[in-house]
């Protein structure tokens, strides 16, 4: 096998097969930067741990290391690609940071009790990255080791990259796939499957915020390209920060007869000043300026910018396990936005009409909902489990 060496930077290099799709993959990752998307603030972060499904010869793993990733766990089914992947790890002395596995990763239900699976390898020797579990008339069948998807994704993983030529469809449309705690997900999706809508719905239920152009989302079986998707699981990241905090007690008699757990970051209406200058002022809450709340505050602002960059708010109310009675938010101005987070059942937001009648339940778990809380009565439906809510509102 003819090989050449290419330098990524002064510290990283890789061996590849000239005049093959190795060169195309390099251009996609390092020149076109397909796994970096500034418009949605998506990239590999310093100190992150990633899982790479469809590792090819290790170029995504090297990219992740170049961006400061702590560890990359790589799965590659094709033996020739895997051998070159392993060679590139050793070439860069990254055995402690890039962990390779010679295996396909398949949806749990598809694999069942099997430990191997058939994939179809292109007969064209210059194409070495289009190996698919979907049978191809122009492909050669090979048998490769295989493991279930849920066995490779653990709670300590920050990011997941999937590029497995069609096998992603069943993984991403299966509600039982265990990736809801992953913070970042990027994948290439086979549009010809016509299941991108379903994948988007499943991802949203798991807490991911995902933006796909309507023209792509509605592509059908005649689509001849695949699409690289970038999405954040802000729900997972926010839950992690919320669980680290000891929630203070608030007295809010309009929502509950007893003290509740909650706090405001951003502007509040507070009594301030002395003498003739004393009065109610709109000022930043004290907690907004306390360091231990800064990461939560910045992450929450990043989240609202991602889902609705034009939504105006001055304040964020954070609630923990609050059962709110029927009430109005009289000091709020205009439309608010609420989202529920956590492991709970029930807990819908109940909205009433302009006459305070005809209650309607709205599921807000990982689903942002806009409503005018100053004009429409609302309350919390009974719930079980751990329930957080964040309410973005304005007092201006």
User: The domain that contains 152 carries what CATH number?
Assistant: 3.40.50.150
* Residues spanned by the domain of 15: 4-232
Which residues, including other chains, have CB under 8 Å from residue 347's CB and lie 6 or more apart? 340, 364, 365, 380, 381, 382, 383, 387
Are 200 and 257 in the same domain?
no
Q: What's residue 126's pLDDT? A: 78
Last residue of a domain, one of 200, 232, 264: 232
When divided into structural domains, the chain yields a total of 2
Is 267 in the same domain as 167?
A: no
Q: Are residues 19 and 105 in the same domain?
A: yes
Among 232, 257, 287, residue at a domain's last position: 232
| Together in a domain, 15 and 164 | yes
Are residues 217 and 251 located together in one domain of the fold? no
Judgement on whether residues 54 and 168 belong to the same structural domain of the protein? yes
Of the candidates 187, 107, 176, 99, the one whose C-alpha atom is nearest the C-alpha of residue 147 is: 107
Instruction: State the pLDDT at residue 300.
Output: 95
What pLDDT is recorded for position 198? 87
Can you give the pLDDT of all 396 residues of the chain as single tens digits? Answer: 678 999 999 899 999 999 999 999 999 999 999 998 887 778 999 999 999 999 999 999 999 999 999 999 999 999 999 999 999 999 999 999 999 999 999 999 999 999 999 988 888 877 776 677 777 777 888 999 999 999 999 888 999 999 998 888 899 999 999 887 888 999 888 766 678 888 888 888 888 888 787 877 777 665 545 678 888 888 888 998 999 999 999 988 889 999 999 999 999 987 666 666 666 778 899 999 999 999 999 999 989 988 888 999 999 999 999 999 999 999 899 999 999 999 999 999 999 999 999 999 999 998 899 999 999 999 999 999 999 999 999 998
Q: What is the pTM of this model?
A: 0.80
Domain boundary pick from 183, 205, 232 = 232
């Amino acid at each position: 096998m003819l090989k050449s060496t290419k330098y990524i930077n002064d510290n990283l290099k890789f061996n590849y097969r000239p005049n093959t799709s190795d060169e195309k993959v390099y251009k996609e990752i390092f020149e076109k930067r397909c796994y970096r998307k500034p418009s949605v603030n998506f990239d590999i972060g310093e100190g992150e741990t990633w899982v790479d499904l469809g590792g090819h010869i290790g170029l995504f793993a090297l990219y992740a290391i170049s961006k400061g990733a702590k560890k990359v766990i790589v799965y590659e089914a094709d033996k020739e690609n895997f051998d070159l992947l392993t060679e590139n790890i050793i070439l860069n002395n990254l055995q402690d940071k890039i962990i390779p596995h010679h295996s396909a990763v398949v949806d749990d239900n598809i694999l069942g009790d099997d430990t191997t699976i058939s994939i179809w390898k292109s007969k064209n020797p210059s194409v070495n990255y289009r190996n698919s579990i979907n049978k191809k008339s122009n492909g050669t069948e090979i048998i490769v080791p295989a493991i279930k998807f849920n066995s490779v994704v653990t709670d300590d993983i920050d990011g997941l990259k999937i590029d497995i030529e069609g096998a992603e469809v069943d993984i991403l449309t299966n509600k039982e796939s265990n990736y809801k705690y992953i913070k970042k997900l990027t994948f290439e999706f086979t549009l010809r499957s016509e299941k991108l809508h379903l994948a988007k719905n499943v991802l949203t239920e798991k807490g991911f915020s995902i933006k796909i152009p309507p023209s792509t989302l509605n592509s059908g079986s005649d689509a001849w390209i695949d699409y690289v998707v970038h999405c954040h699981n802000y729900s997972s990241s926010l839950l992690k920060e919320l669980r680290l905090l000891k929630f203070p007690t608030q007295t809010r008699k309009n929502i509950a007869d007893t003290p509740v757990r909650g706090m405001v970051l951003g502007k509040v209406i507070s009594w301030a000043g002395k003498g003739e200058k004393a009065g109610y002022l709109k000022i930043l809450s004290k907690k907004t300026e306390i360091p231990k709340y800064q990461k939560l505050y910045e992450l929450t602002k990043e989240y609202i910018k991602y889902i609705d960059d034009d939504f105006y708010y001055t304040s964020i109310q954070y609630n923990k396990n609050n059962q709110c009675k029927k009430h109005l938010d009289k000091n709020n101005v205009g439309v608010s936005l609420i989202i529920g987070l956590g492991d709970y059942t029930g807990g819908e937001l109940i909205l009433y009409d302009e006459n305070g009648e005809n209650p309607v339940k709205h599921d807000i778990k990982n689903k942002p909902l806009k409503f005018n809380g100053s004009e429409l009565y609302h309350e919390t439906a009974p719930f079980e489990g751990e329930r957080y809510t964040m309410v973005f509102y304005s007092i201006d």
